[in-house]
Structure 1
């Protein structure tokens, strides 16, 4: 029984020397991260498609059961709104090929303006995707969360493609006013949407945003501990990504989330032991 957890990135300045060994060459940073977590979001591919050689390095640094969630290029999802960008999509799929089974799902993050009237474009796009790739779709239009008919229509489109609906839970972020610069930035930029926790497939994916205060973050994820435990008991294989506005403690928080679920469902496999940030001393 496997629960995968991860963060929004695999390298962050505030982790270096404190959680992750430093200095490390670029070709070793993901390997160090993978000793902490067994999944990671692929946000950078939204802005630029990496070379095949770079992606091959990612694969070399991780085990076959590590999970990547590479995000489709901005040109495909936001500029062409799924009705063009074929060249960019072909280049993206070719670049991701070295990941093999590590490419857990292709992350189709859609703009907030992509609403129920655009579902035809989404359905056509999902039909064109190679069956070797499983899509995971994140929507941000409020109608999908507040209008039952719109939500059911989206679910039908996703079910036809065996695609998952990825919730981005920001409820904890907006419970109380921000108290740090990073929280103030998140307050302005992150979507304010109702929480959604219904899985459509056997591999649900959750993105959870807490606060820079650890206790608030942990309190806010209680719902997801219960939901994740229930999914595991149903035979599903979930992946949960833990964010905070500054992400300074995201690595330790992701492991803590895993520990809390494992306390409820002891059959869940443990995570690996992290690589020490500092070499052992003689005394």
Structure 2
């Protein structure tokens, strides 16, 4: 029984980490990370080899496709760019848990044919996880069903970005106000399409509010685990200072209810961070 948890990054000024090998240090705290840096360009293969060397074989990277593919070309005529990216991240092996197809808010229901063509033609040796932000996918059940049908047909997962807790009350800090401006305000989803659901959860500056807001997610992940699924949950806060601790807390909350859940590694750092 495996639950993977992680953050949007593997280094942060608030986290006690060595000056070198920050990813290796991060990987002793949690067992997954969002590959956001690849959105800005294809990484050097040598960099990816270093990422692999710093992480255990069962660590999960969810690697975001470069913006050239998803935002500029909008999934059309991108074979060369896709294969270049796939070749660059090949050293990760099975650590490359999923190719993350994050689509812009302008990618609308009328573009579903393009998404379907991309997923149907994409190499089967990779797993695919799609994040949409256009409101129609969340507000119109008919449109949501169309997207789910395409994803189910191609074995891809829908990645929800749960901002419900963030938008639960007005922003009260600069970090929260910045998140309010940048994060999508969409309805929560509680449906897994594959055996490997992925959820991105963003809380508040307040640890208590963040934990209170994820109560439903604890129940949902508990159900997924008992069904035999292997979810990956990414924990965010507006400034991410406490995200590393929160990811471990989320995992421990599930392990209290499911003692057979495989534990996270024992942290190795300069000094332990605190939630308080």
User: TM-score band, normalised by the shorter chain?
Assistant: over 0.9
Post-superposition CA distance 1:76-116 (Å, at most 9, x none) = 10111111233221211110100100000000000111111
Which residue of the partner structure matches residue 11 of structure 1? Answer: 11
- Give, in angstroms, the shift of residue 64 of structure 1: 1.0
Tell me if 1:92 matches 2:71.
no
**In the alignment, what sits opposite 2:2?**
2
Query: Out of 45, 48, 53, which is 2:38 matched to?
Result: 45
Give the ranges of 4+ consecutive aligned residues of structure 1 lying more than 6 Å apart after TM superposition.
none
Asked if 1 retains the 8 angstrom alpha-carbon contact of 2:196 and 2:229, the reply is: yes
Partners of 1:185 and 1:101 lie apart in 2 by 35
Gaps of 5+ in 1: none
Residues 112-150 of structure 1, C-alpha deviations (whole Å, 9 max, x = no match): 111111110001101121110010000111111111110
1:260-279 alignment, distance < 5 Å:
260-278=253-271
How far the C-alpha of 1:161 sits from its partner, in A, is 1.0
**Of the candidates 99, 118, 121, which is equivalent to residue 125 of structure 1?**
118
Q: Secondary structure at the match of 2:6?
A: strand
Candidates 215, 239, 242, aligned match of 1:249: 242
User: Do residues 197 (structure 1) and 197 (structure 2) align?
Assistant: no
Q: Which residue of 2 aligns with 1:148?
A: 141
Query: Mind listing any 5+ residue stretches in structure 2 that lack a counterpart?
Result: none
1:70 aligns with 2:63: yes
Out of 24, 29, 44, the position equivalent to 1:31 is: 24
Determine the C-alpha separation between the residues in 2 that align with 1:195 and 1:227. Answer: 12
Take 2:35 and 2:255, find their aligned partners in 1: how far apart are those partners?
26
For residues 2-54 of structure 1, the C-alpha deviation after alignment (integer angstroms, 9 at most, x for no partner) is 10000000011121xxx32x3x22xx111000000000000000001111110
State TM-score, norm by structure 2.
0.97
Tell me how many residue pairs correspond in the alignment: 272
Tell me by how many angstroms 1:278 deviates.
4.1
3-state SS of the aligned residue for 2:84? helix
**Structure 1 residue matching 2:112: 3-state secondary structure:** helix
Which residue number in structure 1 is paired with residue 218 of structure 2?
A: 225
Tell me the secondary structure at the aligned position of residue 14 of structure 2. Answer: helix
Please state whether the residue corresponding to 2:130 is helix, strand or coil. strand
1:175-196 CA-to-partner distances (Å, cap 9, x unmatched) read 1111111111001110000000
- Contact kept in structure 1, 2:43 and 2:88, CA below 8 Å: yes
Partner residue, 1:172? 165
SS at match of 1:50: coil
